[in-house]
Structure formats: structure tokens, C-alpha cells
A and B are shown apart, each in its own frame.
Chain A
Amino acid sequence: MMKVTINVNGKPHDAEVEPRTLLVDLLRDHLGLTGTHVGCDTSQCGCCTVHLDGQAIKSCSILAVQAEGSEVLTIEGLAGATGSATQPSEHVDFTTGHRVPAMSALHPVQQAFSACHGLQCGYCTPGMIMATVDLLKRHPDPSEEQIREGLAGNLCRCTGYVNIIEAVRVAARQMRSVA
């Protein structure tokens, strides 16, 4: 077993892991951050995309111990707490009892994916969103080609990608207008 110390979504964590443990397994199984998904075993699908020290990576393709001392950002940490007295950041769904974040509290990329109907089953969505945030950091006003390339490593089986590409454009516009 090996000890790993990493910072995830702004919080420090220590974990004891087998040397072969992948970063995605550390996040999901040890830290309970199940928003990062696993969709393949050949680094093709991108469901497990997170940010490692500010860069999008597939967390199935590195070992947990390689992330020692790093900053990891997952989908759970993307929005940050932006609630205020007038605009609560979440409410409790009266049917399921689950807490549901408010649209206004989300990152513009998360907002755009929903507003443009860029998700259906939602399984690929956390990875898509994390890849998009990275893409827009590199290309604040991306061309069709840059969007295509930026999402080439992320598979979606439901949407046909048309609305995902639209969501990337809309998010880019939102972020430029705020910046």
C-alpha cells in the first residue's frame, strides 16, 4: 500500500492505496466523488475527465500515486459555492429529498449544457463539461474545428453531439461576456 496526499476540489486528502490504483478509482472509491464516471478501459471515452493542476486529463490513464501533491478539480468542485441570501445555491427536491443545485450557482459551461439540451442520459456529461472548460481556457472563442478537436476524446451515445457543440459555443459567449 502507498500513501497519497492530494488536494481535491480545494480540500486536502490522504489515502492509502495499492500502487496500481488509478486516479479515477481513488476519486470514486476512496473519496466517494462518484460524479467522475468510467465508461471504458482503453482511454477512449473521456467520461473520467478531470483537471490535474489546471489541465484536463483522463483520470483512468494515470495512477493515483502519480497525482501525489497535485491539485485535482472534479465536476463536484467546478461550480464552487456562489449562493447568497437572495439566491440560494441549492434546494431540496420535494419528491426525492435530494439536494438540487440552483442553475444560477453553476459554472457557465454547466449552465450551457443544460440550457442547450446538451445532455440526455448524463453519463458522459461530467467528462464533457470538464473537457469543455479546459477547451475554453485554451480557446475562448473556439472555431468549429477547435471544438471538434477539443471533444474528440469524449464519447456521447445519446445526443449526436449537435447540442453539445452548441453548448460549447453558448458557454464561450457567456464567459467572454462576463470576462
Chain B
Amino acid sequence: MNAPDRNLVTEVERAKSRAAAATLQPARHEDLRLVTGLGKYTADWNLPNQAYGYVIRSDRAHARIRGIDLHAVRGAQGVLAVITSDDVLAFGAKTLPTGAPLAGKGNQPINTAGMPILARDKVLFAGQPIAMVIAVSARAAQDAAELAQIDYDELPAVVSPEQALAAGAEKLHEHVPGNLALDFEAGDAAAVAAAFENARFITRHRIESQRLVGAPMELRSALVDYDSTADRYQVFTPTQGMIGMRSTLAAVSGVAIERIEVVAQDVGGSFGLRGGPASEHVLLMVAAQKLKRPVKWTASRSELFIGEWHGRALVLDGELALDGEGNILAIRFTDTVDLGAFTCYWGAFIGSRNISVTMGGVYRVPALYMSSKLVYTNTVPVSAYRGAGRPDIAFAIETLVDTAAAQHGFDPIALRRRNFIPKDAFPYKTANGTTYDCGEFEGVLNKALALANYDGFMARRIEAARRGKLRGIGVACYLEASGGGGAPKDQVSCRWDRDGRVSLFGVTGPSGQGHETSFAQIVADGLGLPLADVRYRASDPKEDLVGNGTGGSRSLYGAGSAFKVMVQRVLDRALPLAAHALGATVGDVTFDRGVFTAGDRQVSLSELARRVAVAGPHPLDCDGDSISGVTYPNGCHIAELEIDRETGVTELVNYSAVDDLGNVISRQLVIGQVHGGVMQGVGQAFGEHAVYDTETGQLLTGSFMDYVMPRAGWIQRIQWDDHPVPTKLNALGAKGVGESGCSGSLPAISNAMLNALRPLGVRQFDMPFTPARVWALLRSS
């Protein structure tokens, strides 16, 4: 491998990393318990006298249920109860959430279909829950479930959107003609049509962002305890945020919110999948109330492949109109979105609004139009997975621009430069009404080109060709809209102890992002306290706070901004106390790096906090809140790869990324987020694909044996730098990082692949780029 010249920035990063290791400093507050096995994930909780649930699921993709015979199940050894649809309805439970209301062409509202907690008369996907067996042990419950007799009247399975939209296709839902949930549109169709009329060059490129399985490493699990005296439910579960989990659980179960307490300590990854409850949470509530004892359920991995929301599953067909100089005149997308069997959580929002708000990307585009068909199929429902539409639209735009450059003889970099929204054009309102507040896209691009040693690529390609390798490079400039959040504001609080140490509280649910470290750092920096004296804890039920969960890359700037506001409130409260302690007037006291000074007298904030401590609430205890809306993180990612012509194996030989995330609190944690996001894009690019049998609707990739997960070494190193353009939309000036890695990597890798293959005449090649698929393509080219 002929690696590009080592970059200075990367060397500095690596040296820092080595130095940190040499002095053995823990990178994060949460690490010490997690590296020693002292973390506590949901399945690690156990309560005395707990029973165990096991879900009986449909093994058919589409069928009427003629009868369910549970006689043998109920009589099996160790079985305590079987929860059926009757029990769920008697309990008062509703369907799972269908998402925010949406309207399509002609203001036609979306035709939603909420997923019932348990199937009753009909099953619509293989894996749909039908009943839950409760027994004295997990094994007894599973054994008994085998005895269930379900009499199905099979219906033709409608597996792909094409099948679902075909004339005469079997209907999934009686009230949904043609299996079409929503025919969405955004933008100005007439203006775009006129622009295409006048175009000198027109390019068309379709991307398929294939169906994925999110697969956080923690298995989904829940444990519910019911206190019959108080009529209260305690729900242990992985979650992205207490407020969202609790309120949705209340809405779905029909139990009043004040009767539900949600408990989570450590969460083993979420990626959009763990934001709200699934059927099992409600089933455990029903069972715990019925049996008056705690009931626990832990899924197997294979079960989650058919029992937890899938991601992506979008086809975006793009068209780009250029004038003779290469100015973009218009972009049009025609999309097909596979919702799976029901409208579940974010599914419909992803395939409509979320892919339309930034459909012009980083470019000045006079006319934009998107239409999107959201379709029901007999497959697992689709909802949010890291990026939730943002990576897909970035993928579509940036492959479209590259294709246009190649097709019409433009340099792909020059074409981008020509069309960037210039930095003096902000705030910039796009043709379909989104206002980007700030950005310096050319600055980001320049830094990325230098980091990747882009100019040296041709020499590297020639050298690779001598070794029989096809080498390609791909550039992608993404922009995404981070999550606005559903809560009215993000609220946090602090509690001081008698030793001058401060505990921080918030509601956003961490699942690996390092909140305990970054939030503590914001407060420790702001108050000039030693980091060891500041601790963050998510979601103490005693703290009555509101706020958003993790999602849409927003926790750091949402809750983080609230902490910044809180820091100022602490100082406002401390100042008169400090003045009193120093025998000075407030006007004479200054604060710098943790110390109040008046003339030659000083008192540290820690010391002051110790002195003013009283029985009862500490005088410095206070809240902070912040209303933080959407921000626009952006960046330029450059992938370089080599294809072995003999084997079809593709190696990512270099990956460089420059992101504008606004102000960065912890560089190390941000780099970690970038690495993880990029690798999820790499997984999608080179292996991951949830494949259904198109006749039976059975998931063919139903375990880690068949579903390719990215492994150690798929990327050897990622060169990263940032180009911060702080936003004024929140107190921190931060834009968020969680999803940027996926948004940059999908188009960068796809462009690199097509760049390598174009000399062979290849114009279109869909992910995943597995060795078998690459090899077959090379054989046919």
C-alpha cells in the first residue's frame, strides 16, 4: 500500500494519544466501571421472585390468524401465564406510535397503520409478536412457547415496494389502497421542470440505501416491577432518554405517566433504535400487574433481527440540471421508501421531511423538488438508524454531483467549488425554505483535500495499477440538519454537597457518547473546579426535569447549552455569597478560574461552597435550561480504496475527514464519534444488508452468521481535523457530531468505488460492495 504522506495533524493526534496512555489517564468518567465489568446494563438487573417472559412470534410474513391454541403452553411446566391480545386490550394499551402527522400531495394526510402490541386477526411480518409466555425461568418460558399452535391462513407476501405498488398487489391494511401510506412532495415542481427545460446538461443517478439492522451490541431487554399498593410500575430498560421513554410508554400502555418510573444506568448502544418502547415493554407491564411480581425479558440476537426496527430502506432517484458553465440549475428527487409493515416511530418522517429539508446539500440551487412514495411491505417496520435519512440524502446528492462531473467532463472538485453556498451568503435560505445559519464549505473542502493529499492521487493510482489494483478516490461534502428535539426545552440541574463537590443531572440518555465526561467538563471549565469534583448522572427520577433524549446528534449542544446557562446561574448565586465572605461589595469581586478575588483577599468556589453549605438544599443548587433548535453540521470526507481485480476484495487504504461541528468540547470524544459513524457507513458500504426472500418474506440474513457486521481493521486509520464555524443558535456554539460519520462516509465511499470502476465503463453499482458482488461486476465489465 502506498499511503499518502503522513499528515502533521494526524501525527500530533497520535502523539497525544500515546502520551495520554503513557500517563494512564482515563479518557472518560464512565470508563473505570465499564472496563472492570461493573457497568450495569438492563439484563444485569435482577429482582427477587422475578418471572421471565418469552415472545411467541409469527413465522409467516402475511397471514390471517384462524386460531391460536395456547392450551399446551398454559399447561407446561413452570408456566405462570400467557399474555394474549385480549389481555393487552383489556389493559387499555394502544398501538405503538406512528410518528408526527404528515401530509402529502394535495394536502392528503398520511394513511398511518399503527403496530398493535400483539397481532390479533392478521400477521403482517415474520417476527410480529402474537403472545408472551411468562414462566419461572427463561428456559421454561421458551420451552413452553414451542407448544403454541397457531393456525394460519397464508396470504401472498408483498416484500418489496415494487411488489407492493404493483397493480393488484395484496393489500396489507384494508384502509390503505395500493399499500401507499403517503405520496409526499416538497419544493416547486413547476420551477424545477422549467429549469430542466433550459438545462445544458442533465444527469440522473439513483442510489439504493439498502435495508440495515441497527444491532446495538446490548441485547434489548426490559424488567418491570409492579407495586400493587401504590399502583406504580418500575421499568428497567435501555433508553435514549427518560422523558421520551416514559411518556411514550404511558401513551402506549394507557397507564398514567406518574405511575411509571424508568430506570437505566448503562445502555449498550442505541443508534436510534432504543428511543421508545416496543411491544415487550407493555407486555411486561401487563404481566407484572397480573402476576404481582417482577417480570424480565431479554431478547436473543436472532430474535432482534426480526423483532426490532430496521433502518434505511430508501431508493432515491436524483436528477441534476446544469448550465453550460456547470452552474446547478435544479435538483429533483423521486423516492421510494419502504416503511415495512406499519408506520412505526420515525419511519414516515425519515422518508419524507427529513430527506427533503437539506435536499440541496451545500449548494446554491435555485429550484428543488422531491416526491416520495412511502409504501407498506410485509417486512419488519423501519425507523431511525444513525442519521435517519440524513446520510441517505447526502449519499444521493453527492453521488449525483460526482456522476454529473464524470458524465459531462467537469472536474468534480471544481464543480463543487463553483456551486458552494459562499460564506458571505449566510444566513442562507434554500429553495425549499430551510435556513442554514452558517458554514464555510470551501474552507472545509480545502482542508480535507490537503489532509488526503488529493493532489498526489494520480501517482498513487498509477502505482496501484502496476500491482494490478484498481484505485479510486471519492470526495463528499455533506450537510445535515441536526435534531430540533420534541421537548419544549432542555433542562439540567446541579446539587452541591458539603465538600464542595457538585452532582449534575439531566435527562438525555447516554449510550456511549460520554455524557458523564463532556457535561462534567463544561461545568468544571465554567466554574474552575477540578474535574474530579464534578459528576454527571442521567435521569435521576427524583429530579423533575424536562428535555430531549439522545437523537439527531443533539445532546451535547442541547443539554450542554443548558449546563452552560446553569454555570452562569451558579456564579450569579455565588457572587453575593463570595462578597460577604470576603467582606467586600459585589461590585468589587471578580471571578477567574474558580477563584473569587476582592483586592488581596480570595476564596475559591469550592471553599465557598463548603462554607455556605447548610442542612437542606445547598444555596448554590440550581437549574439551567436552554432552547436549542436545529443546527447544520457539515463536512468533507474523502475515501480512497483499492480493488483487487482477482478476488473482488476492496481495501479502504485511506480515509480523511474534516468536519464543521461548531465548537468542540472534547476533541477525543468527537473523534470517537466520527470513527464510529464512519465505520457504520463502511459497514453499509462493504457488507451490511438485510435481505428478504422475495416470495416468502422470510429474512434471509437473520443472525450475525449471515448479516455482515464490520470487524476490526476494516479501516486502519482515519485522519480527522475540524474546521469550526461556531453557530449562534445555542449557548455552546456547537452543532453536533453523532451522525456526521455516516453522512460523510456513504457518499465518499460510493464515489471512490465508482471512481475506481468508471474506467471499466461502470456507471451504477449499489452497496454493499462485497467481494462476491465486486468480482461478479468485474467479470461482466
Contact = CB atoms under 8 A, between A and B. Distances in A.
Given A76-B36, A95-B537, A162-B718, A123 B218 contact: yes
Contact of A156 (B30, B217, B501): B217
B712 A154 contact: yes
B672 A35 contact: no
Contacts of A79: 36
Interface string B30-66: 1111111111110110000000000000000000000
B733 interface: no
Interface stretch (A51-59, A64-72, A114-122): A114-122
A163 B34 contact: no
A163 B675 contact: yes
Contact of B713 (A28, A78, A147): A147
B770 interface: no
B218 A121 contact: yes
Contact of B302 (A42, A126, A158): A42
B301 A147 contact: no
Interface in B699-726: 703-705, 709-718
B593 to A, nearest CB: 23
Given A114-B26, A164-B712, A123 B503 contact: no
Contact of A112 (B21, B32, B511): B21
A124 B511 CA distance: 13
A157 B703 contact: no
A15 interface: no
15 contacts: A18-B139, A37-B217, A42-B301, A42-B705, A99-B38, A116-B17, A116-B20, A117-B28, A122-B31, A154-B712, A157-B680, A159-B676, A159-B679, A163-B17, A170-B17
Given A37-B268, A78-B36, A122-B39, 20 more contacts: A37-B218, A76-B36, A93-B535, A98-B33, A98-B38, A99-B38, A100-B38, A104-B24, A106-B35, A110-B35, A116-B17, A119-B31, A121-B511, A122-B512, A157-B217, A158-B269, A160-B679, A161-B712, A162-B716, A164-B712
A75 B26 contact: no
A37 to B, nearest CB: 7
A103 B24 contact: yes
A25 to B, nearest CB: 9
Nearest to A79: B36
Contact of A111 (B24, B503, B536, B680): B24
A161 B497 contact: no
Contacts of A44: 703-705, 709
A126 B37 contact: yes
Instruction: Say which size band chain A's interface belongs to.
Output: 35 or more
Interface of A is mostly: loop
B37 A34 contact: yes
A157 B672 contact: no
Contacts of B705: 42, 44
A139 interface: no
Interface in B657-682: 668-669, 671-672, 675-680, 682
B34 A122 contact: yes
Interface in A135-157: 144, 147-148, 151-152, 154-157
Contact of B38 (A35, A113, A120, A152): A35
Contacts of A164: 712
Contacts of B513: 120
A129 B38 CA distance: 14
Given A37-B41, A125-B34, A115 B21 contact: yes
Interface of A: 18, 20, 28, 33-42, 44-45, 47, 74-76, 78-79, 93-96, 98-104, 106, 110-117, 119-126, 129, 144, 147-148, 151-152, 154-167, 170, 174
Interface in B253-270: 266-269
Contacts of B675: 159-160, 162-163
Interface string B547-566: 00000000000000000000
B704 A40 contact: yes
Nearest to B221: A38
Contacts of A162: 675, 679, 715-718
Interface string B196-220: 0000000000000000000111110
Most A CB contacts (10 A, CB to CB) among B25, B37, B301, B711 go to B37
Contacts of A114: 26-28, 31-32, 35
Contact of A148 (B219, B536, B713): B713
B580 interface: no
B704 A120 contact: no
A35 B36 contact: yes
* A-B CB proximity, top 5 nearest: A35-B37, A123-B268, A122-B34, A160-B679, A121-B512
Interface string B296-317: 0010111000000000000000
B41 A39 contact: no
A37 B513 CA distance: 20
Contacts of A161: 679, 710-715
B302 A41 contact: yes
Nearest to A168: B712
A29 to B, nearest CB: 8
Contact of A123 (B139, B217, B497, B709): B217
B37 A94 contact: no
B377 to A, nearest CB: 26
A6 to B, nearest CB: 18
Nearest to A151: B712
A36 B37 contact: yes
Nearest to B511: A121
A141 B54 CA distance: 46
A121 B680 CA distance: 15
B31 A94 contact: no
Contacts of B676: 120, 157-160
A45 B20 CA distance: 29
Contacts of A120: 269, 512-514, 672, 676
A157 B302 contact: no
A159 B301 CA distance: 20
B719 to A, nearest CB: 11
A138 to B, nearest CB: 16
B18 interface: yes
Contacts of B717: 162
Interface in B680-696: 680, 682
A79 B36 CA distance: 8
Nearest to B513: A120
Nearest to A39: B217
Contacts of B512: 119-122, 158
B502 to A, nearest CB: 9
A45 B217 contact: yes
B28 A41 contact: no
A41 B712 contact: no
Contacts of B32: 100-103, 106, 114
B497 A47 contact: no
Most A CB contacts (10 A, CB to CB) among B21, B44, B139 go to B21
Given A44-B705, A151-B712, A157-B271, A117 B669 contact: yes
Contacts of B269: 120-121, 123, 157-158
A170 B691 CA distance: 39
Most A CB contacts (10 A, CB to CB) among B28, B39, B499, B718 go to B39
B218 A117 contact: no
Contacts of B18: 170
Given A45-B217, A114-B26, A123-B41, A155 B301 contact: no
Nearest to B33: A100
Nearest to B505: A95
A39 B217 CA distance: 6
Given A158-B269, A159-B676, A122 B30 contact: yes
A106 B37 CA distance: 12
A167 B511 CA distance: 21
A40 B705 CA distance: 10
A82 to B, nearest CB: 12
B708 to A, nearest CB: 10
